[in-house]
């Protein structure tokens, strides 16, 4: 059974977090994708990291179990990045914490790194981009997606994102899009992943908001040169949304940037290559946090 979790005040709102691992270990703040999803997307796939860090699964602003009354004008990458520092201050007894973001969560992690350089001891961007230009040819990638019977399903579901009104609709879109995110869209592990990651509390308003605003329009490439902490960019070789070249750009722009491309993964490396993913992240964190 999942730990109950608790709320942490971050200025004008409260974020719901679920902590796993030794309370004395340095925290790893884990930021989910979507937007509009919650920490359930990670299921228990990151639990092997608890031998090195205390995992703090975060429901970001106005999402999941976090307070839903955060003002709409604060639904931005900048505000969500500021929330990360507030969480770090509240949960890291010695001021040392690391940040890991996946997909949209990596946008927030990178925004945090450039807005508050050095606040985190280490940053991990998983399947992310540092510039929205990497999304410019997404329609062309969709047009080439196979199997063809899934192409229209994924295309239609993305087109409906700006218009979702219920958590049930978000759950339906997530189910329809999941094959796109795996290197093999017919991967037999998809069903297991959906079972293990069930129970999410989705936020249709947040998804619709960002789907109508270029998913936050991240543009931080030129600012990564001022990030002092170690920064690891993890990519899947077959990621159709955030290609590995985008991870290479991130690592090249940051003074202490590193990149690892997992050769048998798409957009879900912690599911597709879980042992390799956790080993990569653990080794990085051990070096970065000097555990």
Domain boundaries, the chain: 6-135+216-289
In three-state secondary structure terms, 215 is: helix
List the one residue out of 125, 120, 130, 61 whose CA is nearest residue 96: 120
Res 3: pLDDT: 58
Return per-residue pLDDT of the chain as tens, 291 residues: 455 799 999 999 999 999 999 999 999 999 999 999 999 999 999 999 999 999 999 999 999 999 999 999 999 999 999 999 999 999 998 989 999 999 999 999 999 999 999 999 999 999 999 999 999 999 999 999 999 999 999 999 999 999 999 999 999 999 999 999 999 999 999 999 999 999 999 999 999 999 998 888 999 999 999 999 999 999 999 999 999 999 999 999 999 999 999 999 999 999 999 999 999 999 999 999 874
Which homologous superfamily does the CATH classification assign to the domain defined by 6-135+216-289? Alpha/Beta hydrolase fold, catalytic domain (3.40.50.1820)
Beta strand segments in the chain, E: 6-9, 14-20, 27-31, 54-58, 98-102, 122-126, 231-236, 257-262
Asked if 223 contacts 144 with a C-beta cutoff of 8 angstroms, the reply is no
């Amino acid at each position: 059974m999942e730990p109950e979790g608790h709320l942490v005040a971050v200025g004008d709102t409260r974020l719901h977090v679920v902590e796993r691992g030794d309370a004395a270990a340095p925290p790893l703040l884990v930021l989910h994708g979507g937007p509009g999803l919650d920490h359930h997307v990670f299921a228990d796939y990151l639990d092997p990291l608890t031998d090195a860090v205390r995992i703090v699964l975060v429901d970001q602003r106005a999402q999941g179990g976090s307070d839903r009354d955060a003002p709409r004008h604060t639904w931005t990458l900048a505000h969500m990045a500021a929330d990360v520092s507030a969480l770090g201050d509240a949960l890291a007894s010695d001021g040392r914490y690391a940040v890991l973001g996946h997909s949209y969560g990596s946008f927030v992690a990178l925004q945090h790194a450039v807005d508050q350089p050095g606040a985190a001891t280490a940053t991990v961007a998983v399947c992310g981009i540092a510039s929205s230009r990497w999304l410019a040819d997404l329609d062309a990638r969709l047009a080439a997606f196979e199997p063809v019977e899934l192409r229209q399903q994924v295309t239609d579901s993305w087109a409906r994102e700006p218009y979702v009104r219920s958590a049930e609709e978000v759950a339906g879109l997530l189910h329809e899009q999941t094959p796109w995110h795996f290197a093999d869209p017919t991967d037999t592990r998809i069903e297991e992943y959906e079972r293990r990651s069930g129970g999410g509390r989705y936020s249709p308003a947040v998804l619709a908001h960002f789907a109508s605003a270029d998913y936050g329009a991240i543009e931080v490439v030129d600012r990564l040169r001022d990030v002092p902490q170690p920064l690891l960019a993890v990519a899947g070789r077959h990621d159709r949304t955030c290609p590995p070249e985008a991870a290479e750009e991130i690592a090249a722009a940051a003074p202490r940037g590193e990149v690892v491309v997992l050769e048998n993964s798409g957009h879900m490396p912690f599911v597709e290559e879980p042992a390799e993913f956790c080993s990569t992240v653990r080794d990085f964190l051990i070096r970065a946090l000097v555990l």
